[in-house]
Structure 1
Amino acid sequence: MTVTNGVQAEEARLAVLRGHRIMDTEAEPEFDDIALLAAEICGTPIAMVSLVDDERQWFKARVGVPYDEGCRDSAFCAHALEQQDVLEVPDAVSDPRFATNPLVLGEPFIRFYAGAPLRVEGGVSLGTVCVVDHQPRTLTPSQRRALRALARHAAAEIELRSYARRTADVNRRVVELEDLKNRILTTVSHELRTPLSSIRGYLELLLDDADPLDQETGRDFLAVIQRNAHRLTSLVDDMLLATKVGSEGIEVVRVPIDLADLVAAVVAGSRPLAEHKGLEVSFEKPGPVIVAGSHRELTQALQHVVLNAIKFTTDGAITVQVTGEPRPTVIVTDTGTGIDEGEIPRLFDPFYRSETAEAAAIQGPGLGLTLVRAIVNAHGGQVDLRSRLGAGTTVVLQFPPSAEVLV
């Protein structure tokens, strides 16, 4: 085997070891029994179920040693990993591979060692079941067979735990997906039904020949229908964009854009809703803050953040800031209801609606922050949300300087 192939094989072995998540776990009686049986069958004062990573050997179970790990460089078990069968060292002092080993010259003064590779599915060796003595000796054929059997049993225990963990992960994921499905059906059906019911109601009034409407009232009704149609279009656009978040991801074509101009336009478009609720939206436009971005997607993200601030604020104000130093940043702060800190990690999950939103019957399918993060990430930026229940919320959008992107 070449050096390159050997390094690649070891990296693959370490990946399998990490995948089993067995290192540094609590002691378990099944493994303790394996170490105890190995010591009793082989008649040695020391026995271990040893796992070897890139820097150390760690003992899942041990008999006769007071410590639970050691350095890989001096580990006999590191040599046993490469063996197809039991590695047996009858007298370490006379073996040139181990004669100067610190474990031979000092505690625990190893003279005899035997280790059976602990191989999981695919033949990958994670460690050994090994026995150690302070006197030179050899194993009998029956003891070697027993050591192999115990190593197979230890490997089976590790794989059984991995299988149980994967099964639990799958079951948990199934529950999460079922919960997501229910949230989607409940939220989307409500979000679709509300504007559709309004559109249908106003259309029925417009088409009622028995009680015709005057022209001005008809225009007002058509304006309501138009607003609800726009709401439906926005919902469908958000849902279509959300499907890309979990599949191929959002792709954006970036060009130089003045972030300050973009924010100013979003704030201006949001002011009528804020004024309707008696809220003030303060924004002092700075000089140009250039980012590399997509006008459409960035506008969509900014609208979600500003409209969220308005929707969740009943009294007070919303403050919007844009700065270019040290990097292009948008900060939206409100004096609204705030969010429980325990809910913050879930706010970016698709279709998740906070308890505050549910309690206040605030409209929205729970896609806003999901899309905000996806859009900002697609621009190489990051989103930070800080909030306390009853103390308002601050959302920070940061973007890389355009010079780092447009090269």
Structure 2
Amino acid sequence: MNEVDNTNMENNGSDNGQGTKASEDGDSSLGISSENVVAGTQRSAETLLDSTNENLDWVLTNYDQKNTEPQSLEQELGRLQALRSYLLLDSEREEQFERLTALASRVMDVPICLVSLVDLGRQWFMSNRGLGDVRETPRSSAFCSHAILNKNELLIIKDAQLDPRFNNNPLVTGPPFIRFYAGAPLETPEGYKVGTFCIIDTKPWPQGLDLDGKQNLREFAGLAVEVMISRRKRRERDDEKNSQLIACAAHDLLTPLSGIELSLHLLKEDEDFQSKMAQHHKGKMRKVETCSDIIQDICESVRTTYAETKSSFEQSLMKAKLQRVNIDILVDRLYTAIEPVKKDVSITISVDENVPKEIISDPSKLFRGAMNYLVIACKRTKKGLIALRFLMKKADSSDADAGGGGKSVLFVTCEDTAPAVELDKYEHLFKPSSKEVNLFPETGDTDDDTTQVSADLCLFSVACEMNVIGGEYGFRPRNEGDKGCDAYDKEIGNMTGSVFWFCIPCMELEDDPDALSEEDEKDATMQSSIARKDDPKIDQQDSEEISTTDDSKLRKKRALIIEDSAVIRNMLGKNLEKLGFEVSEAENGMQGLEKLKSCLFDVTLVDFLMPIMDGLDCMQQYRDWEKYHRPWMKQRLVGISAHATQEDVEKGLKIGMDDYRAKPITFKVLSGIIECDEQMNMSRRLDEIERRDDLIKNAENGGNDDGTKRKPKVAHVIDGRACTLLIISPKSEEEHTKLMQKVVKNSGWQTTTASTEGEALVWLKMRTWDLVLVDETFAPLVCDFREWESKKRQNLQERMTLMVENIEEIRVAHDGPPKHLDALASKPMGVNAVNNLLESTYLHLRKRSGK
């Protein structure tokens, strides 16, 4: 970004950081104009810079061109972000800073000493020795604004009346009548100058500072920075502890919620119970279910965001979860949640016609913002009405020019007819609670801390949520444009009450494109399956095997639950059974490991924390076993936990976990696991494996697929000798290899097997075979054999066939069989595939021999 030309910029006022400015063409009925916004979001530095084209106090117009380094917009943005990370602005006086300025004032023999922080539009005095109760002054008149841009280490003004930069400065011509100034920048470890440690005198210092004085000033500035850093670290540690308590509380709530979810689900599925239940009881049951879902969403949001960031609670909230938000469902949930709250008036929630049915936003934060406003309104309003309204403001080109980016904005307003908020309380709205300030004394006894803290927390929560979601918020008294409670206004003959509002940029979803995409995806999957069957590129044995599928003999899908909680196993088991699974259970990792080794499952749910052996150890040990004993099949393992941090999840994925879901695992979450592409592919693969195994076992018993006896085939003999086959496969495939041998012998072939590289090379070098089947795990030895063969043989080995799982991927990647190989076969091979391969090889051999 280019540097700003300071000489062409004018100083047009300052922003005190207490409120939010909005576009001048805002909807006056919402109170979004700059005149009536009295409390708003503490915007990020970037937003402030983008929205204050008319306010350029951060740009110097009368600087010393020789010794000043002008800041670019990007540099100023970084500096402001660094400053705000220390959380010093608008804070109370602190003893450590006060001691530094008191000591410096005595050592340097000056009447005024300051720790000054340069904010956007103002300088804030973290410590002020000699200026009374003054805590801030405009940035435009601040000496420190020049000090942080000075190329030298110190800015020293010997006589301000003689300096053209300051001779007309109001701090020089008026109180405190500054004559001498010396400031050392407060430079943070990030490399930003966020303020100064400065000394001031009301009389000139013609000699300036000597070397000792300059060094003392630098040392005091360094000490102030050390205090800032230690203060931030201490606050982060405290926030980390608080966030841990909040995250743990959210997790602890999720455990009993799982029991509630299970009980509700079982009651809903109990047809006899449902038939006997009165209609109004069913309505209450639905409300319980909705409230349970709301609590679960809130707890899950807090817990997962903390787990993802492993940071302070405020930082963990700084991540919005953008999802589809159905406005009608949101309104229903608000009605349900607010119903049990004690209230003295009726509530109406309306949605304007211009609001789309769905938007993209963070549903939890949007709900919590509206809910907090309703709770405050219920506490405050004893007579009249409460009206919550959703409406959409379409952004036009002028909004885009003003920084709106051309996006639409969803407004949520909450009108009430409560007594007016006291004017001196405005500045405390949307800020952390304070025992010294009672925002709404009309809500009850002022000694009732619970009532007071609740109201403060409601507004502060809205501020936090809107800051994350990128929205704005505020409050104002009701005016004539507010019609939500006009019926009560007419009844009493005057207007009273307040409007609390927030707004968020959003994306509209008039239709449901994803639903169409899901259908298209299903159609694509079906077409892919049909295309695979009819594709002439697919091996003949594959197409024949697909055609033999019998829908009447569909395999029963299998699921394994490895979980120490019997309640959760019961809940997951019942839901999986409803989804068509045969369920096995294990109460610890050791039992789960044995079950994984003994059987192939479509999906396995593994809890992270269990006695005897936890989930991570179970998954890691199984993956190690699987590599050697079952390399052709990777079972699908899904980790589940209510405790896992992001680090735990990453560790699980690294050791072989396929997916992760946080508890509680609802029916909706479970359905998502089962219906994902990876899971569908796994089940299809197991269908194929089991069907092929059945075919081979059937061949072993001498029967056809329909149970009838198969007639023995005529032996494949060439020139009076039986055809020969070498099968190279690992010991982990030993069982399947033996079954293949029995099928081969039924055709009169002689078979030999090799299970190690050494054995395989010996047999390959011993003779040329009519057919060689090589498992993909032994593919590298083919290169070694071909190298030996090129030097030692005249007649090369033909019909060397590689058995692979993903035959199409290999074929496409190599544009046919890989180098040194003659053909590919799908693994594991079924009886029809083996017989077809033997038959085609035999016919080729006969044709070559001239018979």
TM over 0.5: yes
Give the letter aligned to residue 142 of structure 1: D
Equivalent residue in structure 1 for 2:122, among 45, 52, 56: 56
Q: Distance in 1 between matches of 2:175 and 2:339?
A: 70
Equivalent residue in structure 1 for 2:138, among 56, 71, 76: 71
Q: Any idea what the Cα deviations from partners look like across 1:40-92, whole Å, max 9, x if unmatched?
A: 22232322112222233232223333352333222211110112511112232
The alpha-carbon distance between structure 1 residues 310 and 122, as it changes in their structure 2 partners (threshold 3 A), is: closer
Matched, 1:23 2:23: no
Which residue is 1:82 aligned to?
Answer: 149
Which residue is 2:650 aligned to?
Answer: none
Which residue is 1:124 aligned to?
Answer: 192
Q: Distance in 1 between matches of 2:341 and 2:348?
A: 19
Q: CA deviation at 1:104?
A: 2.9
Q: CA deviation at 1:129?
A: 0.8
Which residue is 2:687 aligned to?
Answer: none
Equivalent residue in structure 2 for 1:188, among 258, 273, 280: 258
Give the letter aligned to residue 40 of structure 1: R
Q: What SS does the aligned partner of 2:176 have?
A: coil
Which residue is 1:400 aligned to?
Answer: 391
The alpha-carbon distance between structure 1 residues 81 and 222, as it changes in their structure 2 partners (threshold 3 A), is: closer
Q: CA deviation at 1:139?
A: 1.2
- Conservation of the 8 A alpha-carbon contact between 1:57 and 1:75: yes
- Conservation of the 8 A alpha-carbon contact between 2:348 and 2:386: no
Matched, 1:175 2:242: no
Give the letter aligned to residue 157 of structure 2: V
Q: What SS does the aligned partner of 1:49 have?
A: strand
Q: Distance in 2 between matches of 1:41 and 1:191?
A: 69
- Conservation of the 8 A alpha-carbon contact between 1:49 and 1:129: yes
Equivalent residue in structure 2 for 1:33, among 87, 99, 104: 99
Q: Distance in 1 between matches of 2:393 and 2:162?
A: 67
The alpha-carbon distance between structure 1 residues 403 and 18, as it changes in their structure 2 partners (threshold 3 A), is: closer
Q: Distance in 2 between matches of 1:183 and 1:308?
A: 18
Give the fraction of aligned pairs with identical amino acids, expressed as a percent.
28
- Conservation of the 8 A alpha-carbon contact between 2:141 and 2:170: yes
The alpha-carbon distance between structure 1 residues 101 and 179, as it changes in their structure 2 partners (threshold 3 A), is: same
Equivalent residue in structure 2 for 1:96, among 140, 161, 164: 164
Equivalent residue in structure 2 for 1:42, among 91, 99, 108: 108
Give the letter aligned to residue 118 of structure 2: V
Which residue is 2:175 aligned to?
Answer: 107
Q: CA deviation at 1:371?
A: 6.6
Q: Distance in 2 between matches of 1:402 and 1:77?
A: 42
Q: What SS does the aligned partner of 1:399 have?
A: strand
TM value normalised by structure 1: 0.56
Matched, 1:166 2:232: no
Q: CA deviation at 1:151?
A: 0.6
Q: Distance in 1 between matches of 2:84 and 2:197?
A: 19
* CA-based RMSD: 4.8
Which residue is 1:346 aligned to?
Answer: none
The alpha-carbon distance between structure 1 residues 193 and 60, as it changes in their structure 2 partners (threshold 3 A), is: same
The alpha-carbon distance between structure 1 residues 70 and 373, as it changes in their structure 2 partners (threshold 3 A), is: closer
- Conservation of the 8 A alpha-carbon contact between 2:347 and 2:386: no
The alpha-carbon distance between structure 1 residues 325 and 399, as it changes in their structure 2 partners (threshold 3 A), is: closer
- Conservation of the 8 A alpha-carbon contact between 2:182 and 2:199: yes
Q: Distance in 1 between matches of 2:183 and 2:264?
A: 70
Q: Distance in 2 between matches of 1:34 and 1:110?
A: 21
Q: Distance in 2 between matches of 1:324 and 1:77?
A: 51
- Conservation of the 8 A alpha-carbon contact between 1:86 and 1:117: yes
- Conservation of the 8 A alpha-carbon contact between 2:184 and 2:218: yes
Unaligned runs of 5+ in 2: 6-70, 306-319, 356-362, 396-407, 409-507, 511-851
TM value normalised by structure 2: 0.29
Unaligned runs of 5+ in 1: 203-218, 253-293, 314-318, 329-369
Q: CA deviation at 1:158?
A: 1.7
Q: Any idea what the Cα deviations from partners look like across 1:298-352, whole Å, max 9, x if unmatched?
A: 2x44654666688899xxxxx9978778988xxxxxxxxxxxxxxxxxxxxxxxx
- Conservation of the 8 A alpha-carbon contact between 2:186 and 2:224: yes
Q: What SS does the aligned partner of 1:11 have?
A: helix
The alpha-carbon distance between structure 1 residues 308 and 37, as it changes in their structure 2 partners (threshold 3 A), is: closer
Q: Any idea what the Cα deviations from partners look like across 1:110-133, whole Å, max 9, x if unmatched?
A: 332110001122121121111122
Q: What SS does the aligned partner of 1:165 have?
A: helix
Which residue is 1:249 aligned to?
Answer: 322
Q: CA deviation at 1:3?
A: 0.3
Q: CA deviation at 1:183?
A: 0.7
Matched, 1:145 2:215: yes
Q: What SS does the aligned partner of 1:3 have?
A: coil
Q: Distance in 2 between matches of 1:26 and 1:374?
A: 34
Q: Any idea what the Cα deviations from partners look like across 1:345-400, whole Å, max 9, x if unmatched?
A: xxxxxxxxxxxxxxxxxxxxxxxxx87954998xxx998455469x9xx9866333
Matched, 1:2 2:68: no
Q: Distance in 1 between matches of 2:393 and 2:76?
A: 42
Q: How many residues matched?
A: 294
Q: What SS does the aligned partner of 1:180 have?
A: helix
Q: What SS does the aligned partner of 1:183 have?
A: helix
The alpha-carbon distance between structure 1 residues 397 and 327, as it changes in their structure 2 partners (threshold 3 A), is: farther
